[in-house]
Amino acid sequence: MNWERELAARAELINEGLDRYLPPASYYPPIIHEAIRYSLFAGGKRLRGALTLAAAEALGMKQTCILPAACALEMIHSYSLIHDDLPAMDDDDYRRGKPTCHLVFGEATAILAGDALLTLAFATLCRLKEEAFQPELIVQVIEEVAVAAGTKGLIGGQVVDLESEGRTPTPDLLEYIHLHKTGALFRAAVRVGALLAQADEQALSALTEYAVAFGLAFQITDDLLDLTGNKVLMGKAAKRDLAKQKATYPALFGLERTRELAALQVRKALQRLEIFDARAEFLREAARYLLYRIS
């Protein structure tokens, strides 16, 4: 499988969906719609949405009918990046290769653009009804995403991450941060695809464990990239974690052990896919890609 080509195909589908589900940039009041589109279409990899599509594919479901779910996950991810970059949080100037939303549109509009993306995500999930999914299943999916975006997921992780700046966390606390701040959305992305494709208990549990290992490996490699990556390729500033004394794997374990821990999680993710056939190949490649990604 040509991973880059396969990811690009899924990203294109997701970008078309996002364009369709969002109000046009000219929609009144245009400033907020311009800000939303500026950040959302600044060039994200669309990994979370692609994993939603891929989890359903692994179970034999067509990509197009679950597109609203894939797009909703990407909206929430973009909201989290806009807010994460704000002066009150990580205070970053550069994201997806461009100046951050608040630098271009001002802080108030950036906060509102994030809020708007979060609410639009749930409006978009409701569009699954146009694809004839059962209302009970749609409610289950909405709950899955809401919990992942809330204090038991993304926000919980972000709070502990901010609290831990300048301190040396225990390995357990570090794992909590990574599993929640980053892992919760990957977990929801995969589970939503699996739920919509009517996964049985065994498949859902294997895919959930895959997603948890994937999320952890993703953030461990993100920590590594922050230290060793190229600012232009990453589209964001490097060595920010060091400057902010962030709780990271390399800070706690050193580079070599951190690389081993990333490889361990990738192996774990691949093992969980052993019960699936060739239709899970995209999920397998996605996990392998984490060990050589440069952005």
Closest distance of CB 44 from ligand GRG, Å = 3
Residues that bind ligand GRG (CB under 6 A): 44-45, 47, 77, 80-81, 83-84, 96, 154-155, 158, 181-182, 219, 222
| Cβ proximity to ligand GRG, 57 vs 74, nearer residue | 74
| Cβ proximity to ligand GRG, 83 vs 102, nearer residue | 83
Cα–Cα separations (whole angstroms), residue 42 to 80, 223, 242: 14, 22, 26
| Cβ proximity to ligand GRG, 30 vs 87, nearer residue | 87
Closest distance of CB 219 from ligand GRG, Å = 6
Cα–Cα separations (whole angstroms), residue 79 to 53, 71, 73, 180: 20, 12, 10, 16
Closest distance of CB 4 from ligand GRG, Å = 14
Quick one: 132 exposed, middle or buried, by C-beta within 10 A (0-12, 13-18, 19+)? Answer: exposed
Closest distance of CB 98 from ligand GRG, Å = 11
Whether residue 144 contacts residue 92, with contact meaning beta carbons closer than 8 Å, is answered with no
Closest distance of CB 15 from ligand GRG, Å = 12
Structure tokens that stand for 65 in this block: 């009918």
| Cβ proximity to ligand GRG, 276 vs 282, nearer residue | 282
| Cβ proximity to ligand GRG, 65 vs 227, nearer residue | 227
Q: Name the nearest CA neighbour of 57 among 199, 201, 268.
A: 199
| Cβ proximity to ligand GRG, 189 vs 204, nearer residue | 189
Angle subtended at Cα 49 by Cα 291 and Cα 158, rounded to the nearest 5 degrees: 75
Closest distance of CB 294 from ligand GRG, Å = 11
Beta strands in the chain (DSSP E): 94-95, 98-99
CA-CA-CA-CA dihedral for 191, 193, 198, 201, to nearest 10: -20
Q: Whole-angstrom Cα distance, residue 163 to residue 161?
A: 5
Whether residue 203 contacts residue 59, with contact meaning beta carbons closer than 8 Å, is answered with yes
| Cβ proximity to ligand GRG, 245 vs 271, nearer residue | 245
Number of helices (H), then strands (E), in the chain:
16, 2
Q: Which residue is nearest to ligand GRG (CB)?
A: 44
Q: Whole-angstrom Cα distance, residue 251 to residue 166?
A: 11
